[in-house]
């Protein structure tokens, strides 16, 4: 199995999402897969301009020349695509959405009805048939992931594949206050990677364990209070600075 992890965090290799991605990659490799990881924050990828050259003029090829020239060959040979996408305003980061939009070059302009009777574009070249999501969010409630999960599932179907698992860990704001609490989830995510490499799926027991939030809501709010206090001090310091400069 060849896996491609595309990390869409604006923090690149520094955030909680990157830790989750590394754990998944370790598990995939342990299970016999090869893994490529891209950090979109370090790349120059422009938004899709909707010119449709990739459909009408030069099928399968994007007209723009930027770092999607690195992404697309890796997509073409991958069996598994992992979107590493922290929640940004109920969905993914703008940087990662640009990558997702630019995969339109894999599709033809023609139309057909799929098995569910829904209209789709046929593919010019095959995208990975298996898709996964790894994500974290600042808030403690798992419901926060629902809009992002819906997008990832829909995109997987649009590209002729299916989403085999969503590994979502809420409460990243509190995790940064108490990083050790993430270790159990990282071990489980590594286990999930090994299972995907060997079995093509995440076992239900592993998935359920990953989905358990690392904090109760009350504990989250207690830890988040430290961050809020830091914010208050930072704001007060900046207000004092502006007052002194006026």
**Tens-digit pLDDT profile for residues 150-199:** 999 999 999 889 999 999 999 998 898 888 889 999 999 999 999 999 99
Mean pLDDT of 106-128: 95
* pLDDT score for 176: 83
Mean pLDDT of 45-58: 97
* pLDDT score for 178: 87
pTM for this prediction: 0.93
Q: Which residue has the higher pLDDT, 15 or 6?
A: 6
Lowest-pLDDT range, 46-50, 80-84, 130-134, 226-230? 226-230
How many angstroms separate the CA atoms of 51 and 40, rounded?
23
How many angstroms separate the CA atoms of 232 and 224, rounded?
13
* pLDDT score for 96: 97
* pLDDT score for 87: 98
Mean pLDDT of 32-52: 98
In the predicted structure, residue 241 carries a pLDDT above the cut 90: no
Q: Copy the structure tokens of residue 59.
A: 């099928």
In the predicted structure, residue 243 carries a pLDDT above the cut 90: no
* pLDDT score for 61: 96
Residues 109, 121 contacting (CB under 8 angstroms): yes
Q: CA gyration radius for the chain?
A: 20
* pLDDT score for 42: 97
Q: Which residue has the tokens 């994007």?
A: 62
Residues 15, 182 contacting (CB under 8 angstroms): no
Average pLDDT, the chain: 95
Q: Which residue has the higher pLDDT, 9 or 159?
A: 9
In the predicted structure, residue 245 carries a pLDDT above the cut 90: no
Residues 167, 133 contacting (CB under 8 angstroms): yes
* pLDDT score for 204: 97
Q: Which residue has the tokens 């990282």?
A: 186
The yes/no answer on whether domain 2-215 falls in CATH 3.40.50.360 is yes
Q: Which residue has the higher pLDDT, 203 or 178?
A: 203
């Amino acid at each position: 199995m060849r896996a491609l992890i595309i990390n869409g965090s604006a923090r690149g290799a520094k955030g909680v999402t990157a830790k989750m991605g590394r754990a998944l990659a370790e598990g995939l490799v342990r299970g016999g897969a090869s893994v490529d990881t891209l950090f979109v924050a370090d790349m120059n990828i422009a938004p899709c301009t909707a010119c449709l050259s990739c459909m009408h003029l030069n099928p399968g090829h994007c007209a723009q020349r930027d770092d999607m020239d690195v992404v697309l060959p890796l997509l073409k040979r991958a069996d598994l695509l992992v979107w590493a996408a922290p929640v940004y305003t109920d969905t993914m980061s703008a940087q990662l959405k640009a990558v997702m939009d630019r995969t339109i070059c894999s599709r033809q302009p023609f139309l057909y009805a799929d098995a569910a009777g829904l209209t789709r574009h046929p593919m010019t070249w095959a995208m990975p048939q298996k898709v996964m999501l790894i994500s974290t969010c600042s808030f403690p409630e798992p419901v926060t992931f629902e809009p992002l999960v819906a997008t990832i599932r829909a995109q997987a179907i649009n590209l002729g594949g299916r989403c085999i698992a969503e590994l979502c860990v809420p409460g990243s704001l509190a995790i940064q206050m108490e990083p050790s609490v993430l270790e159990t989830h990282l071990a489980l995510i590594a286990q999930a990677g090994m299972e995907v490499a060997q079995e093509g799926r995440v076992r239900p027991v592993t998935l359920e364990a990953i989905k358990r939030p690392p904090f109760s809501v009350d504990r989250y709010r207690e830890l988040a209070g430290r961050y809020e206090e830091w914010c208050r001090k930072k704001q007060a310091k900046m207000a004092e600075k502006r007052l002194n400069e006026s």
